[in-house]
Amino acid sequence: MLESILSYGLAVGAVYALIGITYNVMFSASRVFSFTAGMLGMLGGVLGALFIDKLGMNAILGFVLVLACGALLGVVTEILTVRPVLKSIEQHLYVLSTLAFALMVQQVTAIEWGTDAQPFPALIPIDPDSILAIIDQKFWLPLLACIVTIVGLEFLYRRTLIGRAFLAIAEDSYAARALGLPETGLRMASFALAGVIGAMAGFTGAQMLLAYFGNQPILSFYGFVPVALGGMGSNRGAVIGGLALGVFQQAANFLVGGIFAAVAVFAVFIVVLLLRPEGLAGAATARRV
C-alpha cells in the first residue's frame, strides 16, 4: 500500500508541481494569476490522445505537436485576455477574463471530444523484463518531466540572456522597460513557455489522469494550492508543495476516502492563507497609503 501511495502520489504531485510552475511562469512576467493553467494541463492529455490514438501519429510527433499547441494557446491567452486587461484601470479583471477564456476552451473540448474520460496510450514501448518496467511509465514520466522542467528553467534563468530579461521583468517591470527591454514581447514569450510546461504536465500525466475535460478545474485548484502556500513565483515551493500535496492526497484516499482528502486539502489551504495570506515562504505585503 505504501508503495502505491508513494508512486501514485509522487506522480500526481509532479503534475500539480508542473501546473504550479505554469502559474509561476505566467505570474512573474505579468503579475497575473491565470485560470488557464489547469486548462493547459487538461488539453495536454486530450490533445495527446487525439493526436496519437485517434490520428495515429507516433508518440514523439504527437508530443511535439501538443507542446506547440500549448505554446500557441499561451500566446492567445496573453493577447486576448491579459494584454487588454493590463492596459485598463481595473487590472484585477484578469481573474474573469482568463476564467472566461479557460471555460470557453473547456466547453469546446467537452463538445468536440466528449465528456467521458478516455484512455491515453502508453508512450514508450518498454520490454516488460527491462529495468525500466519495474515502475510503470505512467508514474515516472511526470516526475521526469518535472525534473527536466526545473533544470531547464534554472538554465534558462541563470545562463541565458533572455532568461535574465525574464527575471528583470519579474523583478521590476518599470525599470526593465526603462532599460529598453521589450516587456510585451517577453510577456508573450513567458505565456508561450507556460503553455509548453502546462501542456507537458497534462501530456505526461495523462496515462494516469486520462484524457478528460473535467481535469481542468481539478488541476487549476490543486496546481494553485502549492503555489499559494509556497509563495507566488517560487518554483521550489511549487515542487515541494506539489509533491507533498500529491502524497497527502493519495494517503488520505487510501486511508479515509477521497472526499475527506478533498475537504482536508481545502481546509488546510484556507487556514494557512488566512494566517499567512502571502504564503508560507512569501514576503510581507506592501504599503497601502
Partner 1 sequence: MTDIAATAPVRTSWLGRLEGKLSWILLGLVGLALPLLDDSYIGVIAQRAYIYWVLSAGLNLVVGYAGQIAIGWVSMLTLGAYTTAALAAGRVGPEWHPYLALAAGGLMGAVFGVIVGLPALRLRTFYFAMTTLAFSTIVTQVALAWKDVTGGGVGTPGPVFPWPFEPGWGFYYFCFILAALATWVTANIGSSRYGRALVAIRDAEVAAEASGIVKARLFTLIFLLAGALGGVAGGLFASLQSYITPEAFTFEMSVLFFIAILIGGRGSILGPALATIILTALPEFAAPLVQWSTFLYAALLLAIVLLVPGGIADMLDFKNRRPLTLHREIVPRTELLSRVLDRTDGRRAIVLRDISLHFGGVRAIDGLDLEIRSGEVHGLIGPNGSGKTTTLNVISGYYTPKTGTLQLDGADLPFDQPQVRANRRIARTFQTPRLVGAASVLENVMIGGTVHGHASFTEAMLSLPRHKRDERVLREAAMQALATVGLESLAEVRADRLQHSELRFMEIARALMLRPAFLMLDEPAAGLSAEEIRRLGDLIKAISREGVGVLLVEHHADLIFDICDRVTVLNLGKMLAAGTPNEIRSHREVVSAYLGA
User: Is 36 one of the binding residues for partner 1 (CB under 8 A)?
Assistant: no
Spatial neighbors of 264 by CB under 8 A, at least 6 apart, are 248, 252
| Among positions 108, 147, 256, 283, the unique one binding partner 1 when judged by CB under 8 A | 108
Residues of this chain, 176-235, that bind partner 1 according to CB under 8 A? 217-218, 220-221, 224, 228
Query: What backbone torsions phi and psi does residue 284 show, to the nearest 5 degrees?
Result: -65, 165
Least CB distance from residue 225 to partner 1, whole Å? 9
Q: How far apart are CA 30 and CA 91, in angstroms?
A: 11
Give Cα separations from 253 to 20, 69, 262 (angstroms).
22, 33, 9
Nearer to partner 1, 147 or 259 (CB): 259
Spatial contact of 242 and 13, defined as CB atoms under 8 Å apart: yes
User: Is 114 one of the binding residues for partner 1 (CB under 8 A)?
Assistant: no
Does residue 211 sit in helix, strand or coil?
A: strand
Nearer to partner 1, 6 or 272 (CB): 272
Least CB distance from residue 246 to partner 1, whole Å? 17
Q: Around 222, how many Cα atoms within 13 Å sit in the side-chain half-sphere?
A: 29
Q: Which three cell numbers stand for residue 248?
A: 497527502
Contact window for partner 1 (CB under 8 A) among 41-49, 79-87, 176-184, 246-254: 79-87
Q: Contact positions toward partner 1, by CB under 8 A?
A: 33, 80-81, 84-85, 88, 90, 92-93, 95-97, 99-101, 103-104, 107-108, 111, 217-218, 220-221, 224, 228, 257-259, 262-263, 266, 269-270, 273-274, 277, 287-289
